[in-house]
Every structure is written in C-alpha cells, then in structure tokens.
Amino acid sequence: MIAAEASPRHVYHLCRREEWAAAGPRYQGSSQDAADGFIHCSTAGQIGMSAAKHRAGQDGLVLLTASVERIEAGLRFEPARGGQLFPHVYGGLDRAAVVRVDDIARGPDGRHQFPTHVHREGGRMLHHTRFGTGKPLVLLHGFLGGTGYWVPQMGAWGRSFDVIAVDLPGFAGSAGVPAPEGIDGYAASVVGLMDSLGVATCHLLGFSMGGFVAQQLAIDFPARVDRLVLYGTAADGALPHRFESWDASVARMEREGVEPTAENTSATWLKAGKASPWFHMGREAGRGASKAGCMTVMRAMQRWSARAGLGAIKARTLVIVGDRDRSAPVSESLVLWQGIKGAELCVLPGMAHGPHLEAAEIFNRVVGDFLLAQ
C-alpha cells in the first residue's frame, strides 16, 4: 500500500480570491485544474510545499479548508510529485464542503503564512510516504532532502518491508512542522510518528543528516530499532571535511536563500553534479524547505556528536558510504564502524554522496541483504 498522512480530516486548496468569489455552488478550480481534469489539493503536511512550488511570490490568495467527510465521491489520493499521494477532487468542490476560507499573506521571508488550524492538523504527524508489506523500515533523508528521492528504494524494498519514508521537521512535506532545537528532538519526532502509526519497532536507515537522527534515536530509544543502516553520515555533525563548512552554508542561505543553496548542495550528492540524470529528482524531493528550519538544524548539527554514545548502540548496524563522498568521507564512516560493536562496513567504489540514486541496484542489494540476513 501507499499512504500519505493517515485519514486526514481536511484537505486544502489555494486559489486566487477572485476565483473563489466568482464560483457558484460548485467550485471547479483554476484554469490549471480544468486542464488537468481535477482540483489539486494538499493535506496539512503538504500545503507548504505545494505553495512554495506552485504559488511562490503570489499575493491575493485564499486557502480553502474542505472537510473530507463532506466531499462527495470525487476525492481520490493519487501519486504525484516524487511518488507522494496528493488529494485530487473530481467533478468540482461543493461549497458546503468548504468549512472555512482564509486570506493568505506572505511573511518577511516571502513564504506564505498559514492559519494555526493548518499547523495543528499538520503537526499531528510528520508527512510520510508508505509502501509495501512486512517489517517496518523507516527511511530518514538528509539535509535539504525529502521522501521523493527514496522512490528507487521503495519499489525494491516494498516487496519485503513496510517502507515508511519520512519528511523531517522543516523539510519538504513537513516544512510547516517547527524544527526542534536539537537532533534529539528530531529523533523524538520520528518516534512520535511511529507511535501514531502503531509501529513498535523498525529497521531504521538514516542518510547524512538523517543518519545523525538515526544514531540519536538508536541511543535514546534502543528498544525501537531492530537493525540500523548509517549511510553517508558521521558521528560528529560538524562534518569538518564537508564540501563547505556549515558556517559557509548558513552565510550562503542568508545571502541567496533556500532554493539556490539547495541547488548547490544537491549537486554535490552526485558524481556528475547538475549534469547527472538524477539531479532533478534529488532537487525536487527537497523543494519547499523552511528557511527557519534549515537555519535551526544547521546550528543543531554543529553542536551534535554521538561519538561518546556509539558504544550504547545495540542494534545490528551496517555503515555504508561512497568512496568519493564530499559531505561525509570514508574516514567518518570508519569512526562509526569502529565505534559500534559488531558493525559491518560497505564502501562503494566510485560513488559520491548519493549512491542510492546513482547506483540504486547495488545499493538496494547490499542494504536489502543486510536487512534480510538471519
């Protein structure tokens, strides 16, 4: 199965104020909606990302909050951006289903600001995409990433696992969820999602920044993790060998903004940079990240270290890295391999930071074999 946020009470649609004012008893959507044959909607966890992608810089917008219970049979959740399930309304939206209409303004950073009821509903759980059956396998993306770049893994591993790809607070579909001040807060947010989904234990894979969160979760909540995969990550969040320092990234984001910084960063994940056929997919997966969230987590990573706690990790662990990783080079993985008792190590030759994209077949095989091994 594939799932977005479980059983949302409301779906949301942004439109121009005059479009809604001109609508009759049944709103038919924008001209783009008409061309596509349905009204594009979002869940509370997706609306921030959708606004950043499709309505950036626009004023004069209203947010329609529609009750799922009041929408007639035309509501469908269908795969769209990065494999995520988005709500689509066919046949028009009855005015009676719209429980409130809010004017949407932009904040000082130019991002649209949403009413508190959206944040409350979106904050019930982190946005996630779910596919497959079997033992739960939770995937945590890296800095400026998102669930969308796990598509090659979800297809491969969904035959053996209940794969749950999570958008961490402040990123992609969880951009509207406030970023915690520390990596321990990110770990707690993932455990909160597991609780909401009824997942008692899981295999856990953390990539880059997500690897910091995965380590912290395995230390703070050892009973929740069966097997652990630490991918392209490190025991120290400062990453002294990263392609640029966190201070330089902070300055870049202040100077250029989130999207140019994300474009520069995501190019370093791949051997061929922006020329890679995987560049666009990786870039789109993380679109819509919150500037405030990015700034918060960059400072949190600079302060974070699990070096002293590696010996407390009891989960069977695989450490995997590309030998040309420009963010967390092999030397960082050696610290993890040596510090976690019984850990296994895999170094992928000729690979940069993102072999799950560029060498998906071998990456999926190595990780899948580790998770399935007796």
Lowest mean pLDDT among 45-49, 123-127, 290-294, 341-345: 123-127
Given this model, what pLDDT does residue 335 score? 98
Given this model, what pLDDT does residue 81 score? 56
Given this model, what pLDDT does residue 256 score? 95
For residue 361, pLDDT over 50 is answered with yes
Domain ranges of the chain: 2-122, 128-372
Name the pLDDT band for 310 (thresholds 50, 70, 90): very high
State mean pLDDT over 113-136.
77
pLDDT tens digits along 2-16: 444 446 789 999 999
Task: Name the DSSP class of 283.
Answer: H
Structure tokens at 198: 């009824």
Contact 322, 290 (CB under 8 A): no
Given this model, what pLDDT does residue 118 score? 76
SS3 category, 5: coil
CA pair distance 362, 367, nearest whole angstrom = 9
Residue 280's Cβ-count burial label (10 Å; 0-12, 13-18, 19+) is exposed
Question: For the domain 2-122, what is the CATH code?
Answer: 3.20.170.20
Nearest to 52 by CA among 18, 88, 20, 81: 81
Given this model, what pLDDT does residue 252 score? 95
pTM strictly above 0.75? no
For residue 111, pLDDT over 80 is answered with no
Radius of gyration of the chain (CA): 21
What does the chain come to in residues?
A: 374
pLDDT tens digits along 321-340: 999 999 999 999 999 999 99
State mean pLDDT over 132-144.
96
pLDDT tens digits along 251-304: 999 999 999 999 999 999 999 999 999 999 888 888 889 999 999 999 999 999
Given this model, what pLDDT does residue 2 score? 40
Residues forming a β-bridge with 76: 88
Name the pLDDT band for 67 (thresholds 50, 70, 90): very high
Pick the CATH number of 128-372 from 3.40.50.620, 3.40.50.1820, 3.90.226.10, 1.10.760.10: 3.40.50.1820
Contact 128, 137 (CB under 8 A): no
pLDDT tens digits along 169-218: 999 989 888 888 889 889 988 887 887 777 889 999 999 999 999 999 99
State mean pLDDT over 341-364.
97
Given this model, what pLDDT does residue 3 score? 45
